[in-house]
Amino acid sequence: MIVCENLVKIYKVADLEVVALQGLDMTVEAGELMGIIGNSGSGKSTLLNMLGGLDRPSAGKLFVDGQDLFRMTNAQLVAYKLATVGFVWQNNARNLIPYLTALQNVEMPMLLAGKRDRKWALELLDMVGLGHRKHNQLHQLSGGEQQRVAIAIALANRPKLLLADEPTGSVDTRTAAIILDIFQELNRSLGLTVVIVTHDVQLARQVDRVVSIRDGKTSSEILRREAAAEQSDEGDVHEELAVLDRAGRMQIPREYLQAIGLEESDNKLRIELEDGRIVLLPPR
């Protein structure tokens, strides 16, 4: 569904250049429910904006659903934003119109795309558990309920990919759990590919895969495997893998380097092959 290769994004501010993505590689399969984590400023929102067609990459390759985001004309990009991707932000005011009802809000993107589908709008409100509030104006709903309407809005035009930037960032733990359940259900029942940027460790644990971004590159990923029946008392198994790019480069966590006695100023390592293992050692 998503292929990023050596993706670069440079922002120019006055005479300064900020490299927000520095050759990021990432592949997401259709139907995956995955999370992206990373420190503030690591490039998570920048990546999501590229995927959502809100901003254009500076270099590299970016394909979503077989479409080349680099080659799109502005008109194609507008069509892409309406039809291929849905977006949910932390601050849901960006998605919602306060004086319209929940139902009218969900129908708004349909009207913009020129095809209203009331049956689908009602189904979506049911899916997010707000069928009974469809005629309420937005300001009559709680923050968590508004966030659920925002999810229904994002799916109004039946996108294949749902992008969510800190979707549980401004709601309490209980509401966050409801929102995660909704993502899981939409992923299962519609086969929707879902990419969630989050700081929420709890949420990150419950997706199929979590990719972590450091300094504008993917550094490692954690896979969740359903535990085999005989070991079911252990719960799900998490496996953390470092990401290797095409040139064979990887990022080594700073705490690992410290653990083998490497100084902050050291910028070289010994690397040896020993009994089928790669061993990293501080310089002699």
Ligand X SMILES: Nc1ncnc2c1ncn2[C@@H]1O[C@H](COP(=O)(O)OP(=O)(O)OP(=O)(O)O)[C@@H](O)[C@H]1O
* Distances in whole angstroms, Cα of residue 265 to Cα of each of 154, 217, 234, 250, 282: 47, 22, 41, 19, 12
Least distance CB 40 / ligand X (angstroms): 3
Largest CA distance in the chain: 72
DSSP 8-state assignment for residue 18: E
Given the complex with ligand X, which of 6 and 90 has the nearer CB atom? Answer: 90
Cα 247 to Cα 250: distance, rounded to the nearest angstrom:
9
Question: Does 44 sit near ligand X (CB under 6 A)?
Answer: yes
Choice between 105 and 198, CB closer to ligand X: 198
Nearer to ligand X, 54 or 177 (CB): 54
User: Counting beta carbons within 10 angstroms of the beta carbon of residue 73, is it exposed (0 to 12), middle (13 to 18) or buried (19 or more)?
Assistant: exposed
Give how many residues touch ligand X by CB under 6 A. 12
- Between 88 and 262, name the residue whose CB sits nearer to ligand X: 88
**Residue from 27, 29, 41, 241 in contact with ligand X (CB under 6 A):** 41
Measured between alpha carbons, how far is residue 208 from residues 94, 126, 169, 177 in Å?
Answer: 28, 25, 20, 16
Among 40, 173, 189, 267, binds ligand X (CB under 6 A): 40
Angle at 25 between CA 19 and CA 29, to 5 degrees: 135
Amino acid 211 reads: V
For residue 51, the SS3 value is: helix
Please, what is the minimum distance in Å from the beta carbon of residue 209 to ligand X?
18
Interface residue with ligand X among 18, 59, 78, 112 (CB under 6 A) is: 18
Is the torsion defined by CA of 125, 128, 131, 137 positive or negative? negative
Q: Is 35 a binder of ligand X (CB under 6 A)?
A: no
11 binds ligand X (CB under 6 A): yes
Q: Which of 2, 20, 153, 164 binds ligand X (CB under 6 A)?
A: 20
Q: Judged by CB under 6 A, does residue 94 bind ligand X?
A: no
46 binds ligand X (CB under 6 A): yes
Of 40 and 189, which CB lies nearer to ligand X in the complex structure? 40
Q: Is 173 in the site for ligand X (CB under 6 A)?
A: no
**Does residue number 187 form part of the binding site for ligand X (CB under 6 A)?**
no
Two tokens, residue 225? 């495997």
Determine which helix (DSSP H) or strand (DSSP E) holds 174, and give its type and residue range.
helix 173-190
Pick from 24, 26, 34, 43 the residue near ligand X by CB under 6 A.
43
Give the C-alpha separation, 25 to 62, whole Å. 10
Contacting range for ligand X; rule: CB under 6 A; set: 33-41, 80-88, 101-109, 254-262: 33-41
Q: How far is the CB of 253 from ligand X (least distance, A)?
A: 18
Return phi, psi of residue 101, to 5°: -80, 170
Positions touching ligand X (CB under 6 A) are: 11, 13, 18, 20, 38, 40-46
